[in-house]
Amino acid sequence: MASFAIERRLRKQGFTTIIGVDEAGRGPLAGPLVAAAVCLRSTRFRSRVDDSKKLSPKEREIAFREIIQKSLFALSIIDEKKIDELNILVATRECMQRAIVTLVSRLKEKKICILVDGNMKLRLPGESILEIIKGDALSKTIASASILAKVSRDRIMSLYDRLWPEYGFLQHKGYPTLLHRNALKEFGPSPIHRLSFSYSNPKG
């Protein structure tokens, strides 16, 4: 379960501000990539704040509302066309970096440590960056970012479901489920599908 143990250790080392960063949407065949950078202003939460994949949609929505009230945050979105142009790894790095730069520009604090979920090598000269494998399950700050990114992306995909209901985006949010692959076989790709991804052997 995510906790503030990592954050407490970093504060003892002299960091005054902790930023958590995570993304949603690397694996889907359709739709955007969304990254969130979060600086929590409270460590007290009534809702469950944990790895977004461990939460139900209702739990994520409740946590989302509380997190945005108790944090400074920034979101970054890269659409499917840009993903095709850059490739998913480069797009993920750029999306995360944009969110971080936007948030840092709003902060007055100088002793900042950025916690990044996974082993993504970010290029932000002058910033202290700590990469944490499965960070969204360990750090509540990263978990908060994972929830903001996931809920934001799910809302976008729900809107797309109204435009292209035949694909079932409301159910799978663009991930390569059997329902989604069958829809692709029947209808072909929509304008929001990632053409650089393989539909027969989709990237998980």
Task: Average the pLDDT over 67-77 and give the result.
Answer: 98
Q: Name the band, by pLDDT with cuts 50, 70 and 90, for residue 203.
A: very low
Is the model's pLDDT at 202 over the cut of 50? no
Instruction: Write down the pLDDT at residue 90.
Output: 97
Q: Which domains does the chain have, with CATH numbers?
A: 5-187 (3.30.420.10)
Q: Name the band, by pLDDT with cuts 50, 70 and 90, for residue 178.
A: very high
Neighbours of 4 (CB within 10 A): 16
Is the model's pLDDT at 201 over the cut of 60? no
Taking only the tens place, the pLDDT of each residue in 15-51 is 999 999 999 999 999 999 999 999 999 999 999 999 9
Instruction: Write down the pLDDT at residue 204.
Output: 36
The residues with which 30 forms a beta bridge, in sequence order, are 193
CA distances from 32 to 43, 53, 92, 135, 183 (A): 30, 18, 10, 22, 19
Helices (H) and strands (E) in the chain, counts: 7, 5
Burial 128-162 (b: 16+ CB within 10 A, else e): ebeebeebbbbbbbbbbbbbbbbbbbbebbeebbe
Nearest to 39 by CA among 24, 17, 22: 17
Is the model's pLDDT at 199 over the cut of 90? no
Residue at 7: amino acid letter = E
DSSP string, 28-89: -SBS-EEEEEEEES-S--SS--S-GGGS-HHHHHHHHHHHHHSEEEEEEEE-HHHHHHH-HH
Task: Average the pLDDT over 76-103 and give the result.
Answer: 98
Is the model's pLDDT at 191 over the cut of 50? yes
